[in-house]
Amino acid sequence: MIKQEIRSLVRNSLPKIDKTNRFADRYIDAVIEKALASLYHDVFLTNPLSLQNYTKVYYTIGFDYNTTGVTYCTLPESIIPLERKGSGVIRVSAPAQGQLIFFPTDFREMDLIANGSFFNSVNTKVGYAVNQTRMELYNLSMSIKGLRLDLLIPFSKYAEDEEVKIPEITDVIGTNYRQVAQTFMDRVMAILGVVAPVDTKDDNASVMTNAKDN
């Protein structure tokens, strides 16, 4: 479904106590974003490779060099942080240079690799380390003209008419445990369900005005 259809599904699934009972779109989007992030984490625990199915692809992403010689690119969009080395950057590739292999590392590993004696002996493997705003690349040739990034992005970063892929998982399997997983709508409603319904007398205002008192 596209973004606005998902929001409409959630809104029209909420109980109404009167015609004016409404949740703000931004609040609904924030709840959806939280529920989706938890689903993506469960997918990661169950089958990390399948995260590729829920990414948004960005093409021809340029990169630059700073004064210390570090090659980097600014991420085109925010990512959902995951407990993996690449975080929400699920895949990096250079379509025009198919022989290159990109692999995620953390910043400490790259410091160790860069100080090793064999760092520049292999030219077909490129390491990348990710934070929330940019990606640093190591051993990337200057001949590369652009990168393809497959990113796991928050719900709020999709356009209204863009498709948002929602995982439908039935259980979560991890080390020494197995649990029944809530569906996307279960998770959304679990959050929205604790919000008190609108009080038609004072509209949930913390202090009633004189007009209402009268």
Asked whether residue 85 is assigned to any structural domain, the reply reads yes
Between the alpha carbon of residue 164 and those of residues 20, 38, 155, 184, the distances in Å are 29, 15, 7, 12
Query: Are 119 and 167 in the same domain?
Result: no
Among 152, 178, 203, give the residue marking a domain's end: 152
Domain that holds residue 23: 3-49+157-195
- pLDDT (tens digit per residue) in 57-90: 999 888 888 766 688 999 999 999 999 999 999 9
Asked whether residue 205 is assigned to any structural domain, the reply reads no
- pLDDT (tens digit per residue) in 143-172: 788 899 999 999 999 999 999 999 887 665
Query: Are 42 and 130 in the same domain?
Result: no
Asked whether residue 206 is assigned to any structural domain, the reply reads no
In terms of DSSP bridges, do strands 56-61 and 125-130 run parallel, antiparallel, or are they unpaired?
unpaired
pTM (2 d.p.): 0.79
Q: How many CA atoms lie within 13 A of 36 on its CB side?
A: 26
Counted domains in the chain: 2
Asked whether residue 43 is assigned to any structural domain, the reply reads yes
